[in-house]
Amino acid sequence: MEATIPELVETLDEEKDRVPERVALEEIRSDIEEGANPTFNYFIFIILSAIVAGAGLILNSPAIVIASMIISPLMGPILGLSFGITTRDGKMIRNSTIAQVFGVLISICSGIFLGYLTICLVKNPQITSEMAARRFPNYLDIIIAICAGIAVGFCITGTVKSTLVGAAIALALMPPAVNIGLALMYGDLSLSIGSFILLVTNIIIINACTMIVLKIKKVHKLPEKKSI
C-alpha cells in the first residue's frame, strides 16, 4: 500500500490538471463556433450594419458609424479563423473563412449600392471627412488593429467578456469595407484602393494578433474523444 500511494497521488494530480483544461477549451470552442458559422442571421446583420455604416459615411456622422459597429457580427469569423488555425480545426477554418469573405463582399456591395443610390438622389455628391479618413493605413490604424486583435484573444479566453471588443473589430473592418464601394461609385479610385489596403491590413493584423494571444494562452487542439 505504501508503494502505491505516490503513483495514486500523481495520477490524481494529472487528472486534476488535465480535465479542467480540456473542459475550458471545449467551452471556448463552443462559444466561438456559434458566431463563426455563415448563418442566415449572420448575413442579415452584415447587411444591416453595412447599410448603417454607409449611411454614416455618406452623412458624415461618426455617431451613425459607431452604431453600425455595435450590430456588426464580424468578430465571430475573426475568432473562428484564428481558433481554427491554432487548433488545426479544418471545419471551423472553412466556415469562418466563408463567413469572413462573404461578409466583406456583402459590405463592399452594400457600399456600391448606397453610392449608386446617393448619385441618383443627390447631384455631385462630395467625399465626406468620414470617408476620406478611411484611406491607406497609417501607424494609428495599425495600432488600433493590433489592440483589437489582442483584445479579442483575451476576451474569448478570459473570464471578462465585453461587447466593446466586437465594436473594435467592426471599427477596423466594416467602415473601410463599405467605403471601398462608396468611393468607387463616387469616382475616387485612389480612396477606394486605399480603403481596400486598409481593410486587408486590418484583417491580417487582427487575425495574427488573435492567434498569438491564443498561443500564449496555451490554446491547442482538443483531444479526440475515444469511442468505447
Convert 81-147 into a string of H (helix), E (strand) and C (coil).
HHHHHHHCCHHHHHHHHHHHHHHHHHHHHHHHHHHHHHHHHCCCCCCCHHHHCCCCCCHHHHHHHHH
3-state helix, strand, coil in the chain (%, to 5): 80, 0, 20
Q: What is the pLDDT of residue 186?
A: 92
For residue 59, what is its C-alpha cell? 452623412
Q: pLDDT of the chain along its 228 residues, tens only?
A: 555 545 544 444 444 444 333 336 777 777 777 778 888 999 999 999 999 999 999 999 988 988 888 888 888 888 888 888 888 888 889 999 999 999 999 999 999 999 999 999 888 888 999 999 888 888 888 888 888 888 877 877 765 555 566 666 767 788 899 999 999 999 999 999 999 999 999 889 988 988 888 888 777 665 555 545
Estimate to the nearest angstrom the gap between the alpha carbon of 88 and the chain centroid. 19
| Contact indicator for 197, 136 with CB cutoff of 8 Å | yes
Could you give the 3-state DSSP secondary structure of residue 182?
Answer: helix
Dihedral, CA of residue 82, residue 84, residue 90 and residue 95, to nearest 10: -70
Instruction: Map out the domains of the chain with their CATH numbers.
Output: 16-123+132-216 (1.20.1080)
Query: How far is it, in rounded angstroms, from Cα 183 to Cα 108?
Result: 10
Res 66: pLDDT = 85
Q: How far apart, in Å, are the Cα atoms of 5 and each of 10, 14, 18, 137, 196?
A: 9, 14, 20, 62, 64
